[in-house]
Amino acid sequence: MEDPQEVQEEQFSGEEEGEYYEGEEGDYAEEGEYGEEGEYAEEEGDYMEQEGQQREYSGEYGEEEEGSPYQYAEEGGEERNEEEENEFDDDDINFDEIPAYKNLPPLDPLRKVRRELLRAINNTRQEDGVGLEEITLDLLTTESLQEYTKYVLEEEEDSDVLEKIISEGKGVGKFSSCTAITFLEEETTDTKHLIEPFVDAHGLLVELKRSLILDPGVNHVGIGVAAKDLRLVLVYAFSHKGVQITEINKKDSGIYVRGLMKRANIGVYALRVVDAQNLKEKAIVSPSQIEFDVSNQEFTISFNFPEGIQYDAEGKGLNYVEIYVRGNPNTIPYGVESNEKVKVDHLELVQRMRLEIFPDPRHLYEEAKSGERKAMLQQRQKEYEEEKRKVENVEANQRYITREQQRKELQELEKLRIAQENEPPQSATSSVARGSQQKLSGSQVLTPEAKGSVVSSKEKNEADENESQLSLKSEKEDEPEESQELVKEELMNSIIDLMEGQRGLRNENADLEKRVIGIRQKMGGLQEKTTEDSMTLHKYLNTLANVHQVDFKMQELQDTYNNWAQVYEENIIEKQERCKEIQNYFRDFKREVAKGAEFSRTGKPITKRTIDEWENAESERDKTLQEVRIQNITLKNRLMKLEEQSKDKEKLAEGLHLIDYEQLKIENQTLNEKIEERNEELHKLRKKIETTVQILTHTKEKLKFILAEKLALQGQRDDLAKSLDAQRKELHKQKLEQEEVRSGFMKHKQETGIVNSTQLNTDLEVRKKRVEELKHDLQALEKDFQHMQSIIAKAAS
């Protein structure tokens, strides 16, 4: 049995009937040769009948199409896309439950943002550039940029700080960076909601740093992203590296590394594993362990490393892998055994990254799942478009058939009218009578009080006409020839009388028209009835018929829904009773099991009080669960209502088709002029922004230089101040010593008044010299005396 809500959505979802109604109007209006005012005034009832039949056909076709997949796809497309996205949502993946991924480090929460930004960079290069190389993510630089983005959130951007952080992060090569700082509309921590703001920030960098992003000389990029409060920071660091590492993995008891050469004039010569903290060498690989494929510039390295791949507490590799290259790759002895020790002093270091599994298999799983989701969505979109195309073809064929039928009927009416004009008076009389009858029937069909469909009335009239014609034919066949002549004479007399009455009616009509013209002139000139007025009347009458038809359908649907509701209520009551029986049985079963259970330690059975407490707690949890489910259903219904309101608001714009085309054209031209003016202003503002940015950059650089010079001068001033203080202290000390010497000198001078006598000083000096001379003479005599004693002693012996 179908869901009544789904059927209701299918019945009242779209614009199928309105679209076909508008198309039929346009098609009918193109038949101008049959629609000019006053040309075939006698056939007005037929035209109204035809148009009413046409609207009836339109309603029938709309009814058949209301349940079509095309209509349901238009209405439920957004909800279905949301369900498909939820179906493939990779946030539900718990990699810890997969044994192969259990020992891997935790995932970066911003990995999806970086993935989308890297995709956006490559898309920009493919769209705006020709033959540009695809950009690869530089993981080591990304770590440094992540620290820098945190710094920018707290402080301001600083190129010196960025270079310092990249240098401390062991980055290799020269980098060209650019930074974008934007603001979020609302604070959020969900990475899904951060992807779009970061992509917008990427668009800002594309506008400001297009030449850098489209630089053909770069092939690696580090991406730093951070958001705090309402502030968002995005930093790119582009570089060119001669080697791209495409895979790092475990192999037996060693490590397997695979990569590509990005420059043709160099070749891989050595691989080195170093400690991430002090860059101390742990292993080195020579060309004998390297395999190089010249055709695709791919190299593979397999080597033993007992430590294997290890991670620290933050989930980062404990070691680095370094790739060294040299020129003349044709002379490198790949795969040739050699005992020569490899020295990296004369080699060029072109790549460094952490020794960890790369690419992360979880990332590959997420990307594969995302690709599968996109393929599924594209397939469903393709099926939807095919179904839509089929429905449109059926509609087009049906419209074509309807127009052909109308065209044939109008042509038959035209032929009939021409034949009636060319017939003798008796045929003219019959045509007049038939025309009046058709007018009467048409007016009766299209009155608002009819409350029936137009097509059914016309079919009834046609059936009556066919029956009357058949009866006339049978009567004519049965009548003898004499009675036919009498009837002919009677008809001729009636035709003459009717023609005279027609002349009188025409004269009376002319008089009435003159009176109408006079009244219009007196009332200020009322507008004459135009084709648009008649078309408006036709639209009103047909719309009224469609309204009656929709009311009838609504009543039928209401009865159907009431029947379904009754059936559903009976099913719900039955299922609720069955559910209660199962719950009671399951509760009794658990109670019996609990009664027979015992505590493992004491061996005592579970008391009835404990069982009752458990049952009460379980019932409370069931009640809470039921309340939460009801609340969830309420919120879902509220969400659906809000989405429907949003769709209805979007559909309000469809009323613009009633605006005159010329007015739209004028407004479009005016808006284009305004757009051109705004583009010119925007161009000027961009130039001003570039100039301002250049001036600001120059001012910032000058300010940095002045601040550095200021710091240097302040250091010199501090040194001079310290030296001045030391000199002042020394001067004060010398002054104190001088004062002490002067005071001592004055004291001694006062005590000895003859100290300053020159004669005494001269005599003192002479005596000092004399004393010194006598001391020298005494020493000489003592030496002579000792010598003489030694001689005497020798002589005595």
pLDDT (tens digit per residue) in 121-165? 998 888 876 678 899 999 999 999 999 999 998 888 888 899 999
Segment 646-704, tens digit of pLDDT: 877 766 655 555 556 677 778 888 899 999 999 999 999 999 999 999 999 999 999 99
pLDDT of residue 752: 67
Angle (deg, nearest 10), helices 361-422 and 111-128: 60
Across the range 267-294, mean pLDDT stands at 91
Segment 323-378, tens digit of pLDDT: 999 988 888 888 888 878 888 888 999 999 999 988 888 877 777 777 777 778 77
pLDDT of residue 657: 55
Segment 200-209, tens digit of pLDDT: 889 889 888 8
pLDDT of residue 177: 92
pLDDT of residue 423: 62
**How many Å apart are CA 449 and CA 778, to the nearest integer?**
169
Residue 286, amino acid:
S
Contacts of 109 (CB under 8 A, 6+ apart): 191
Segment 585-634, tens digit of pLDDT: 988 888 888 888 887 778 788 888 888 898 899 889 989 998 999 999 99
Across the range 203-217, mean pLDDT stands at 89
> Tokens 């001036």 sit at which residue?
695
Residue 715 confidence (pLDDT) above 50: yes
Rounded to the nearest 10°, the torsion over CA 63, 68, 73, 76 is: 60
Across the range 48-71, mean pLDDT stands at 39
Q: Regarding beta strands 220-228 and 136-137, do their DSSP bridges make them parallel or antiparallel, or are they unpaired?
A: parallel
Q: Which residues of 509-540 are buried (b: 16+ CB within 10 A; e: fewer)?
A: eeeeeeeeeeeeeeeeeeeeeeeeebeeebee
Task: Decide which of 774 and 498 is more confident.
Answer: 774
Confidence of residue 108 (pLDDT cuts 50, 70, 90): confident
Query: Do residues 597 and 606 touch, judged by C-beta distance below 8 A?
Result: yes
Joined together, the tokens standing for residue 70 give 């095309």
